[in-house]
């Protein structure tokens, strides 16, 4: 099965480092991040999960729950978490799914046979409260993810859902945003009281509405 943007993220039930989890129940009405890693006890993954753990408060600010996955078992996950906590100076609190039969990996297309027939790739999905997939990003096994970028995209998605805007290249929270082409400049000036700057009829900026 191939998951695409706008698809409903499939539900599943699985064992994890925190016990048996129903994915939908775990997410509730929150945003979610589901990310796969190739294997336990590997160096790049250790740094990734450690950094993700350190961002826990940032995810909580954004009403976002994080959950990881690999094809290793629960015992490996639990023992590896001890290593992550020790080496990365953190405390991993989010669950790591045990997917030894690869059913969830196949459901979410985390196994790429030309890269590896046994390990998952570094895929990450952002899932909104309606369980729709809003971001899919995949890295090679040798390259650690940039979780600062994940937070940036999460901020953008939550902003554009709350306000009729788009975010430009390299946008950071608090910077000007773009007025979409579907909105006329005259109407934009009515709904964006902070002002609209027109560079071209199709390229217009306004200060971020919620700051």
The residue annotated as part of the active site, out of 33, 45, 49, 179, is 45
Q: Which residues contact 53 (CB under 8 A, 6 or more apart)?
A: 84, 85, 88, 90, 91, 92, 93, 94
Model pTM score: 0.92
CATH topology of domain 163-206: Antioxidant, Horf6; Chain A, domain 2 (3.30.1020)
Q: Mean pLDDT across the chain, nearest whole number?
A: 93
Q: Which one, of 9, 64, 37, lies nearest residue 142 by Cα? A: 37
Domain positions in the chain: 13-143, 163-206
pLDDT in tens, 199-211: 999 999 999 999 9
Q: Please state, in angstroms and as integers, the Cα–Cα distance from residue 179 to each residue in 61, 170, 173, 201, following that order.
A: 26, 16, 16, 10
Instruction: Please indicate whether residue 45 is annotated as part of the active site.
Output: yes
pLDDT in tens, 93-128: 999 999 998 899 889 988 776 666 556 668 999 999
CATH topology of domain 13-143: Glutaredoxin (3.40.30)
């Amino acid at each position: 099965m191939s998951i695409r943007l706008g698809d409903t993220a499939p539900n599943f039930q699985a064992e994890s480092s925190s016990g048996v989890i129903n994915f939908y129940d775990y997410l509730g009405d929150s945003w979610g991040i589901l990310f796969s890693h190739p294997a336990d006890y590997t160096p790049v993954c250790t740094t990734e999960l450690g950094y993700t753990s350190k961002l826990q408060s940032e995810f909580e600010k954004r009403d976002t729950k994080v959950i990881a996955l690999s094809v290793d078992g629960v015992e490996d996950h639990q023992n590896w978490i001890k290593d992550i906590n020790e080496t990365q100076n953190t405390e991993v609190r989010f669950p790591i799914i045990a997917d030894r039969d690869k059913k969830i990996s196949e459901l979410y297309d985390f196994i790429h046979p030309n890269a590896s027939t046994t390990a998952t790739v570094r895929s990450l999905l952002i899932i909104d409260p309606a369980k729709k997939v809003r971001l899919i990003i995949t890295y090679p096994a040798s390259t650690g993810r940039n979780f600062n970028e994940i937070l940036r995209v999460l901020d953008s998605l939550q902003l554009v859902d709350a306000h009729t805007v788009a975010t430009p290249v390299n946008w950071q929270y608090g910077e000007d945003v773009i007025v979409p082409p579907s909105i006329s400049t005259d109407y934009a000036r009515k709904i964006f009281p902070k002002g609209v700057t027109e560079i071209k009829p199709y390229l217009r900026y306004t200060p971020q509405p919620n700051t």
